[in-house]
Amino acid sequence: MRIASVASAMPKWYYSQQKIFETLCQHWKDKLDKPDVLERLHQRVSVERRHLAYPIDEYASIATWGDANNRWIKAAVDLGERAITGALERAGRKKEEIGAIIIVSVTGISAPSLDAKLSNVMDLPLDMRRTPIFGLGCVAGAAGIGQAADYVRAYPDRIAVLLSVELCSLTWQRMDLSVANMIASGLFADGSAAVVVAGDQVESKGPEIIGHKSSFYRNTEHLMGWDISEEGFQIVLSPEVPDAIHKHFPHDVDSFLAEYGMKRADIGTWIMHTGGPKVLDASAEALGLPREAFAPSWDSLRNNGNMSSTSVLLVLEDYILNRRPAVGTYSILAAMGPGFCSELVLLRW
């Protein structure tokens, strides 16, 4: 099983953190007593620029959750088509070869699901297996690779496509001045990425998927997720997240590697989800790694923000296109998300 390709697709609207901060200050001018608090929170998330699904001036006119979700569907179909097309081209495969498609998102909903809409728009195979997944959040990019790997393990002559579309800006609560929402307004962004995973009988030169592992931390659901109401998705983001990482993540990694007779020292590169500065710092500290071990993730956070499930796929794309490790190098691809939980994928280049 191999990752044959990764391709991202971004909205054309790309704004500086300062521009987004100024726009939010204008929107909250009658409610924001201390703009310096918002500015400080936006500066601390280490984001310089972000993509938004729509022109920034249009967001003030989004009055209902229904309107936001309809906009999500429209943008998600466009970005999804572009990402899948790009990934197939890079893999040298045709859409007719797709045996399964897995769609992950936590920022919008659709029934028929997004995979069905893309099937019509792209004329995808009528007998392809469709698996839409909602609710895994940031962890879903890594989890989706595992799902795709399981499919091609069973059908080694086929390919599976994973698509992540996250339009976080359409979930912003514009009447909520909680610290969690202000942090979210400075951290999260919009984008999409698709991964082509190929079975052993399909020619591919991408990194081999050795295995994957899921870890769930019982009774930690208060750490991250959504509270859903008439207003839509309201962020749940606890300051306890770094503590959970320190408590659980090293054991997750060590027990996973032990299954293959390996240790942390055997890992040449770490492909980490860009959850934010505290998540990246806590992950490095917990694993006993220098901050520089996650340099590509820090770069992605600075240039793209946190795109939930899409983020770790952007880091993977960067490695494949620009930082490809030497042949034989082992990598851990990792993400954490609501549950609280982690997903790990072991790769060999």
| Annotated active-site residue in 25, 138, 168, 341 | 138
Q: Return the amino acid letter for 334.
A: A
| C-alpha distance across the termini of the chain, in Å | 12
Question: Is 25 noted as a catalytic residue in this protein?
Answer: no
Tokens of 177: 């001045």
Dihedral-angle region of residue 232 (phi above 0 means left; psi in -120 to 50 means alpha; beta otherwise):
left
Dihedral-angle region of residue 339 (phi above 0 means left; psi in -120 to 50 means alpha; beta otherwise):
left
Compute the half-sphere exposure of residue 183: CA atoms within 13 Å on the CB side of its CA. Answer: 15
Question: Which H or E run contains 270?
Answer: strand 269-272
Backbone angles phi, psi at 175, to 5 degrees: -110, 5
Dihedral-angle region of residue 305 (phi above 0 means left; psi in -120 to 50 means alpha; beta otherwise):
left
Residues 6+ positions from 84 with CB-CB distance below 8 Å: 7, 95, 118, 122, 161, 163, 194
Provide the 8-state DSSP code for 237.
E
Beta strand ranges found along 135-189 (DSSP E)? 159-167
Asked if 344 contacts 332 with a C-beta cutoff of 8 angstroms, the reply is yes
Q: Would the CA dihedral through 326, 320, 131, 92 be positive or negative?
A: negative
Give 3-state DSSP helix, strand, coil % of the chain, rounded to 5.
45, 25, 30
Paired residues of 13 in beta bridges: 52
Tokens of 192: 């999409």
Query: Catalytic amino acids?
Result: 138
